[in-house]
Amino acid sequence: MNMKRRVILVLVSVALVFSFAVLTPGCNFIDKKVFNKTPSFSSEAPKDLPAEFSILADIYRMLQEDYVDKGKLDPKKLSQGAAKGMLQALEDPHTLYVDPEGHKLEMTALEGKFQGIGAVITIRDKVLTVISPIVGSPAEKAGIVSGDKIIEIDGKPTSGLTLVEATLTIRGPAGTPVRLLVLHEDASEPVEIEITRAEIKIDSIVSEMKGDIAYIRITQFLKSTGNDLRDALKGAIAKGAKGVILDLRDNPGGVLDASIDVASQFLTRGIVVDAVDDDGKHNQLRVRPGGVATNIPLVVLVNGGSASASEIVAGALQDYGRAKLAGSKTFGKGSVQVVRELEDGSSVHITKAKWFTPNGRPINGTGLTPDFVLDLKGDDMVKWAIDYLEKLIAVQVTSAEA
C-alpha cells in the first residue's frame, strides 16, 4: 500500500475540539495521510497486514453472494463500519474513526465557532459524560455542569454511541432544540433538559482587572490563544497589575502549540511536557523564550473540567514552583493521539504516547492535585485567589523593604 504524507497541523488537546464542543481531552498530533487504494477486494491480505484481515474480504464476498438486499451493499459505508468496529475493539475511547463529516466539523471548530449546544464530552466508564459546558453557551444556561452523565439524546440511549456519533447527534442548526436525559452527579434520578442550539463563538481569553490583580480565564486552547494571552498580560502589566489569576477551570484543552505558548509566558526555561511512546522514546517540548510574565505573582485555578492542555500548563507551573494550583483535582487525560486524515476526508485518532510533567509525573487517570484543595465555586474561588495573591504580594514587599 503506497502512502504519501503531508503534515497539516500539530495539536494537543486533551480534548480535541469538535463540533458540539470538544470530544475528549487528549494530546493530538494531526497529520494528513493520503492512501492510494484500489477499490477491488482481494482474497489475499496485503503483505503488510496480518493474514487474519482476509476475513474482511471473505465477508464482503459472502454478502455479495447471499445477502437478501444487495442494494444496501455500499462499499463506502461498509468499509467505514469495518474501520469503526476495528478501533472500537481496542476499548480505547481516544482511538477512533471519524467519518468525513465529523472530521470536517472537528477542524472547523478549531477556528473558534460552531453550531450546537456548547459542551465538552467524553466517554468515562463507558458512559457519555460532560467534562464542562462552554462559558456562556446554551448548555451552561440550561444547567449542564461538569460530571453530568448524558443517558439519552432525543429519547435514544447513548450507550453504544461513539464520541463522534454522540457529538453529531447533539449538534444541529442554530435555533433547533435537542432533548437530553441527564443524570447530575449528586442526583439519584435523571432529568430531561431541552436545549436550543446556537452558534457557539469561543473567546479563548477573558480578562479583566480586579483592583491591582489581573484575572485571566482561558476557556480553550485555540490557535490564537498564545498571542491573545500575551496581549492580555501586556495590557494588564501596563495597567499596574501586581499579580495574575490564571483560571483554567472547565478548560478541556485544545491546540498543543497554544499550551506551550501559554506556559512560556510564565517560565524562562525548561521542559513544558514530555511525551513518551511505547518504545520509551521521549519527545520533550520546551519553553519558548520571551515570556512577558515570568516574575509576577501567579496562582492557577483548576477543577475536574481542567484537562489536556490545561493540565500540561498547570503541571509545568506546579513542577517548577512558579505557581500554586488551587481548586479541585484535574481531569487526568495524559495520553497523546496522532490524528491522520485519509483520502476521503475521514480521519483516524490513534493513541500514540503518554505525556508526563517536567518532573516525570504521570497524569493519565490520576490528574493533578492542587496545592490548595478547595471546595469553592465560581466567584468565591476568584475571591479566594485575590486574597491569596494580595497576601503573597504584601509578604514580598515587606521582604524587599527589609
Active site residues per annotation = 308, 319, 333
Let me know: does 62 contact 43? Beta carbons within 8 Å.
Answer: no
Cell of residue 203, nine digits:
473567546
Among 142, 141, 152, which residue's Cα sits nearest to residue 180? 152
Where do the H-state alpha helices sit in 124-221? Answer: 138-141, 163-170
Coil, helix or strand for 264? helix
**DSSP H or E segment with residue 188:** none
Q: Report the chain's terminal Cα–Cα distance, integer Å.
A: 72
Distance, in Å, from the CA atom of 356 to the CA atom of 159, rounded to the nearest integer, reads: 32
- What secondary structure, in 3-state letters, does 77-118 show? HHHHHHHHHHHHCCCCCCCEEECHHHHHHHHHHCCCEEEECC
Rounded to an integer, what distance in angstroms lies between the CA atom of residue 104 and that of residue 68? 34
The secondary structure element, H or E, covering residue 363 is: none
Kindly list the distances between the CA atom of residue 13 and the CA atoms of 96, 241, 257, 272, 385, in Å, as whole numbers in the listed order. Answer: 15, 30, 10, 15, 26
Question: Which grid coordinates belong to 341?
Answer: 486524515
